[in-house]
Amino acid sequence: MLVHRTTRPRPKDPDPSVFQRVQPSFVAPRAAATALTITWIGHASLLIQLGGMNVLVDPMWSERASPVQLVGPRRWVAPGIAFDALPSLDMVLQSHNHYDHLDDATVRRLAHTHPSAAWVLPLGLGAFVRNRGVRAEVVELDWWEERDLGSLRVGATPAMHFSSRGIGDRGDTLWCGFALSQPGGSRRVYFAGDTGFHPEFSAIGERYGPFDVALLPIGAYEPRWFMRYLHMNPEEAVDAFRAVNARLMVPIHWGTFKLTDEAMDEPPRRARAAWLAAGLPNDGYRQLAHGETINL
């Protein structure tokens, strides 16, 4: 690591003002059963409206991605949806337990303000949310397991990552992505979670696709010798999109927290260049501003 720092110093970050935050336009209190909207709250946090349900993914509203709020990676951009502006939630999906995805204070607020929302998590994480006040249905899934909740079917998909919130708990709980669909319907969404590039993307597309949209992480990938097993770089994210059989790619996991060595504005530039180099349709790559909603 020290050799890497001396031979490849960190590139300069842009001014935080380059990252836009726009007014969301999701449908309140909920969208029609036939509608599909995606709102990027920031990092890996999203509001998905599908099948008439409001689904929140990897909710994180704290100022810092850290076990304490005095130190640790700080937000560059405020959450794209103010917490009190959230619509009534039906479901929360949680991919794993890292601090930039699973936030203690946010879980407690959601348990209090959205007490009827079901929580879907990978194996071993149920106790975490129950201990913070969640009293609604809590579902733990292994990879490739599915559960019908309301009008939606949720499948837990493989990811190449790890879990840990402290010393001595590495790998104690699972990590995953999620495939969301309407049983008997055609609308389908894939959220990859936190992941390196792995060989199961094609299998995910075969089992759960074709997807209307793939929500794929493109940031936090340098230094590559270390991060390649944890996070995809932008070029790998485009390869993953091609493997999962989706119509639209929305890049996530960038522009919110400074977690690794690459410049904060590098991931979307490289992702778009990789997209064009692959000869993919220009309108198939939808980079969102914080708070931006797309209606599919």
pLDDT value, residue 68: 82
Residue type, 284: G
pLDDT value, residue 8: 59
Tokens of 173: 């709980």
Residue type, 52: G
Long-range contacts of 31-37 (CB under 8 A, 24+ apart): 33/151, 34/187, 35/295, 36/187, 36/189, 36/212, 36/213, 36/295, 36/296, 37/293, 37/294, 37/295, 37/296
| Peptide linkage before 29 cis (omega within 30 of 0) | yes
The tens digit of pLDDT for each residue in 101-144 reads 999 999 999 999 999 999 999 999 999 999 999 999 999 999 99
Per-residue pLDDT for the chain (296 aa), expressed as one digit of tens each? 444 455 557 788 987 777 889 999 999 999 999 999 999 999 999 999 999 999 999 999 999 999 888 888 999 999 999 999 999 999 999 999 999 999 999 999 999 999 999 999 999 999 999 999 999 999 999 999 999 999 999 999 999 999 988 888 888 999 999 999 998 878 999 999 999 999 999 999 999 999 999 999 999 999 999 999 999 999 999 999 999 999 999 999 999 999 999 999 999 999 999 999 999 999 999 999 999 999 99
Q: What is the DSSP letter of 146?
A: E
Q: How far apart are the C-alpha atoms of 42 and 257, rounded to whole Å?
A: 9
pLDDT value, residue 1: 42
Q: How many CB atoms lie within 10 A of CB 137?
A: 13
pLDDT value, residue 3: 43
Q: How many CB atoms lie within 10 A of CB 87?
A: 17
The phi and psi torsions of 274 (rounded to 5 degrees) equal -65, -35
Residue type, 233: N
The total number of residues shown for the chain amounts to 296
Superfamily of domain 22-63+74-295: Ribonuclease Z/Hydroxyacylglutathione hydrolase-like (3.60.15.10)
